[in-house]
Amino acid sequence: MSDFWLSIKDLPEQGREFEVSDQEVWTVPIREFNIQASITRNLHARFSIFPGQNGYLIRGVLRGAVKIPCDRCSAAEEIGLDAAFEFFEESGPVTDKGFGGQSILRFSQGLPEINAGAMLWEQFLLTQPIKHLCSDKCQGLCPKCGQNLNLADCGCDRDEADPRMAIFRNLKINT
Ligand SMILES: [Zn+2]
Ligand SMILES: [Zn+2]
């Protein structure tokens, strides 16, 4: 993951707006986790941070576009992102080490900072569906010859391609 710390000292009550368009926030973890995704329109986050009683309210939007292969036929599919997000990040008890736990908040030389890199990577992941399909009706690839069945039918008898049936295919019947 790409750490990207923003200073959030002296936030006014009406919040402060931030913008992040450093692509490394997303390209570094995409590489690191070996995710099959490529950014086709630069990602851009714009968000406001509001100080609260014991934490911060963060509200913004993540925009851009990525190309991700379909889970069934592996055709690359472009997904436009325009995702609003809003959450409250509790600052927790402040110790001499700063904020406790695996927080995206920390104190650096006594001043609060937020890890916008970690936060915006998580927001990116939240925009992604569990399965990437080019279409609900995607037929996938023929398990026998690899033909993309959305484009043409290869004519393979795909029931026979079931490996559990192989033993029966090779069975010779002596008469
Ligand atoms: Zn597909
Ligand atoms: Zn086939």
Residues 89 and 167 in one domain: no
Nearest partner of 121 among 12, 27, 9, 14, judged by Cα: 27
Number of domains in the chain: 2
Residues 55 and 93 in one domain: yes
Q: Give me ligand 1 centre to Cα 6, in Å.
A: 40
Of the bound ligands, which one is closest to the alpha carbon of residue 142? 2
The angle formed by the CA atoms of residues 71, 75 and 76, to the nearest 5 degrees, is 95
Distances (CA, A) of 79 to 29, 43, 74, 133, 140: 18, 12, 14, 11, 19
Of the bound ligands, which one is closest to the alpha carbon of residue 140? 1
Ligand 1 ion: nearby residues, β-carbon < 5 Å: 70, 72-73, 134, 138
* Per-residue pLDDT in tens (0 to 9) along the chain, 175 residues: 788 999 999 999 999 999 999 999 999 999 999 999 999 999 999 999 999 988 999 999 999 999 999 999 999 989 999 999 999 998 865 554 545 456 789 888 889 999 999 999 999 999 998 889 999 999 999 999 999 999 999 999 877 555 665 555 555 556 5
Of the bound ligands, which one is closest to the alpha carbon of residue 151? 1
Answer yes or no: is 92 within a domain.
yes
C-beta of residue 113 within 8 angstroms of C-beta of residue 6: yes
Residues 101 and 169 in one domain: no
The single-letter code of the amino acid at 71 is D
Residues 104 and 51 in one domain: yes
Residues 150 and 72 in one domain: no
First-last CA distance in the chain: 66
Distances (CA, A) of 58 to 106, 153, 174: 16, 50, 75
Of the bound ligands, which one is closest to the alpha carbon of residue 157? 2
pTM for the whole structure = 0.79
Q: Output the six-digit token pair for 79.
A: 């997904």
Q: What residues make up the domain containing 171?
A: 139-175
